[in-house]
């Protein structure tokens, strides 16, 4: 029997998850669980790279496990786990910090964006080294594919550079070359209040949160910023607001943006179009929220995480051993 390829991805439990996370990542994950050996985790160590309230972090972590399952992940098929439960992530990180360089790390867009607003004296080393830990996450599982939204592809590219460098240095295929996979529609959902900016968890204005009351979701969509025209056309340059709404509609309808455009051909009222988008989002998020609540109430989260940690650790530790041997650390029998 041919071995299945591996898929791996994660979400960090920082802010409240948004419709951008849902379309760009969360809802993509389940597409891999049948044909790939699939690992989906919570990047809780990454969440510490910016100051975060401990109680919020803990509760949000449990929420995301429930979101994963509500989005269709089956813990029997997909290994769901916490990054902090598998110590191999931190151990491989400690090795890999020596194989990625200050120059390349300082050029990462996410680092530049996040550190720009901060005082230089207060930028944590973890924020700077963020892609190193992310590379450890990916490489421990020999992931072939990494489903992410567009903003994370640069980090996966850097991980690919690292694989080249490392395998070349030791003249062995130690690591598998991973590939980022972004959704065809909706790899970058924009803010509803400023459609030139990405919808992000740390920017509450213009975001749709997955836990928002359905009435609030409708209100946010109905008051989304648009242009002064009246045509429903995909034109991100001149009509960023309408283009973003069309993208959301198309993604959730599993159609292309062109097909969505066709559906609204001749519609000259933004209000009518926005109502259709709101209906579509609510049709999807309503049942999703229901499932999320049931899972949290079921009390099964801890059990799922324990089993996930066990399965993930087994694979991660095997890779870690191989890396240790490769670089010359003395791996010996311990009794």
DSSP conformation class of 38: E
- Rank residues 201 and 239 by Cβ distance to ligand AMP and give the closer one: 201
By CB under 6 A, the residues from 114 to 143 that bind ligand TRP are 134, 137-138
Q: HSE (CB half, 13 Å, CA atoms) of 58?
A: 3
Q: For ligand TRP, which residue of 49, 152, 191, 243 counts as binding (CB under 6 A)? A: 152
Contact 193, 205 (CB under 8 A): yes
Q: For ligand TRP, which residue of 46, 220, 239, 280 counts as binding (CB under 6 A)? A: 46
- Rank residues 21 and 115 by Cβ distance to ligand AMP and give the closer one: 21
Cα–Cα dist 67/62, whole Å: 9
> Residue 188 binds which entry of ligand AMP, ligand TRP, none, with Cβ cut-offs from 5 to 8 Å by kind?
ligand AMP
Tell the smallest beta-carbon distance from residue 207 to ligand AMP (Å).
Answer: 9
Token pair for residue 277? 């988008």
Kindly write out the interface string for residues 8-27 of this chain, putting x where it contacts ligand TRP by CB under 6 A and - elsewhere: xxxxx---------------
When asked if residue 198 is in the footprint of ligand TRP (CB under 6 A), the reply is no
Contact 226, 270 (CB under 8 A): yes
- Contact set with ligand AMP (CB under 6 A): 11-12, 20-21, 23-25, 148-149, 151-152, 187-189, 198-201
Grouping H, G, I as helix, E, B as strand and the rest as coil, residue 287 is: helix
- Percent of the chain that is helix, strand, coil (3-state, to 5): 55, 10, 35
When asked if residue 43 is in the footprint of ligand TRP (CB under 6 A), the reply is yes
- Rank residues 43 and 323 by Cβ distance to ligand AMP and give the closer one: 43
Q: Which residues are catalytic?
A: 114, 198, 201
* Number of continuous H segments (helices) and E segments (strands) in the chain: 14, 5
- Which residue has its beta carbon closest to ligand AMP? 24
Tell the smallest beta-carbon distance from residue 21 to ligand TRP (Å).
Answer: 8
Contact 227, 238 (CB under 8 A): yes
Cα–Cα dist 46/13, whole Å: 8
Token pair for residue 243? 């283009």
Which residues of the shown chain bind ligand TRP in the complex (CB under 6 A)? 8-12, 43, 46, 134, 137-138, 146, 148, 152, 155
């Amino acid at each position: 029997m041919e071995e299945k390829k591996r898929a791996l991805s994660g979400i960090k439990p920082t802010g409240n998850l948004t419709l951008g996370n849902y379309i760009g990542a969360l809802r993509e994950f389940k597409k891999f669980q049948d044909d790939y050996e699939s690992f989906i985790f919570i990047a809780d160590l990454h969440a510490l790279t910016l100051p975060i309230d401990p109680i919020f972090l803990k509760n949000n972590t449990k929420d995301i496990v429930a979101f994963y399952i509500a989005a269709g992940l089956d813990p029997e098929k997909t290994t769901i786990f916490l990054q902090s439960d598998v110590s191999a992530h931190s151990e491989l990180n400690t090795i890999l910090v020596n194989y990625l360089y200050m120059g390349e790390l300082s050029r990462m867009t996410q680092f530049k964006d996040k550190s720009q607003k901060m005082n230089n004296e207060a930028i944590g080393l973890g924020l700077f080294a963020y892609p190193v830990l992310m590379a450890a996450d990916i490489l421990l599982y020999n992931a072939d594919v990494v489903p992410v939204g567009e903003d994370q592809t640069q980090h996966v590219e850097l991980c690919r550079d690292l694989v080249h460098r490392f395998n070349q240095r030791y003249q062995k295929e130690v690591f598998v070359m991973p590939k980022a996979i972004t959704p065809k529609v909706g790899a970058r959902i924009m803010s509803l209040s400023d459609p030139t900016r990405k919808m992000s968890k740390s920017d509450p204005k213009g975001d749709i949160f997955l836990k928002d009351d359905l009435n609030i979701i409708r209100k946010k969509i109905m008051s989304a910023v648009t242009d002064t025209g009246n045509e429903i056309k995909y034109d991100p340059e001149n009509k960023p607001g309408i283009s973003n709404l069309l993208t959301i509609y198309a993604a959730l309808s599993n159609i292309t943006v062109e097909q969505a455009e066709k559906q609204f051909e001749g519609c000259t009222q933004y209000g009518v179009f926005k109502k259709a988008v709101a209906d579509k989002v609510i049709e999807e998020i309503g049942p999703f929220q229901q499932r999320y609540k049931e899972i949290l109430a079921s009390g099964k989260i801890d059990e799922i995480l324990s089993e996930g940690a066990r399965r993930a650790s087994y694979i991660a530790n095997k890779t870690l051993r191989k890396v240790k041997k490769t670089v010359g650390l003395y791996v010996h029998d311990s009794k």
